[in-house]
Amino acid sequence: MHGSIDDPLIQQVVSSDSRDDLLMSAEHRFSAFKIKYGKTYPTQEEEDYRFGIFISNLGLARRNQIMDPTAVHGVTKFSDLTPSEFRRQYLGSGRQIQLPDYIPKRAPILPTVKLPDKMNWTKDGAVTAVKNQDACNGCWAFSAIAVLEGAHFVANRKLVTLSEQQLIDCSNDCGSKHPDVCNFGCEGGHRLLAYKYINDTGGVMKEEDYRFNGSKNNFCNVTDNSQLVASIRKYGRIEPDEAQYVRPSCR
């Protein structure tokens, strides 16, 4: 999904008018797409091929918009990719990451008195903006950072956007019993290894001080521990579907 319904590129996708009545021709829309997302192609043959995929994806977006009017479907930077290309480039490397050998203890059940029946952390200000991990299979780092951002807000009532790139570059710990169980930067990893790294290192930097670049660097750029702004004292695991943990976890 992209933009708003006022976006002319999206209006054309969801319009019920005929192709000839669209605000811009398919060629103009493709030109606007290339300019907006900086798209270039090595040959005219490749550009023609991508144009065909672009038109196919516009049709898919239009059909999806009709089926679900509550969403907004339209042109994104992925609109010149086939489904198989998108899966291969953006949905993971296929590397199997095993669980570390130091699984943390189960989190204790906390008292549930005087807790709300529901909580919307986004409205409460505990959730940072949506992030783009691009073609980096670093979802383990993004999910670990998202949890830490929320926990830091609950503890300090201050929302800070933290650095996934630090984890991707620096969290390379491996299990002592299973040396092949490691975090592999943009080739996969595990949140528990990320939490262990944060705990051992003393914290994570702000995103603005250690920016995401879509790949793993050959060095860890943490040179000043005074820049570590959010840390973990301890962490535990919550079993799936155990409702008694859910409300206390919102404290």
**Domain boundaries for CATH 1.10.287.2250 within the chain:** 8-90
Global pTM? 0.72
Q: Give the pLDDT confidence score for residue 64 in this predicted structure.
A: 92
Chain segment 164-194, per-residue pLDDT in tens: 999 999 998 665 555 666 788 998 888 888 9
Q: What confidence tier does 34 reach under pLDDT thresholds 50, 70, 90? A: very high
Question: Is CATH 1.10.287.2250 the right assignment for the domain spanning 8-90?
Answer: yes
* Cβ atoms of residues 251 and 110 within 8 Å: yes
pLDDT tens column, 85-143: 998 888 765 566 666 556 666 666 666 677 777 889 999 999 999 999 988 989 999 99
At 102 the pLDDT is 61
CATH 3.90.70.10: which residues of the chain? 121-250
* Distance, CA of 212 to CA of 139 (rounded, Å): 13
At residue 21 the predicted structure's pLDDT band, cuts being 50, 70 and 90, is very low
CA 168 – CA 222 distance, rounded (Å):
12
pLDDT of residue 95: 62
Give the separation between CA 247 and CA 152, rounded to whole angstroms: 18
Strand partners, 230: 204
Distance CA 210, CA 221 (A): 8
The pLDDT score that the predictor gives to residue 40 is: 97
For domain 121-250, give its CATH number from 3.30.470.20, 3.90.70.10, 3.40.50.150, 1.10.150.120: 3.90.70.10
pLDDT at position 94 is 57
1, pLDDT greater than 60: no
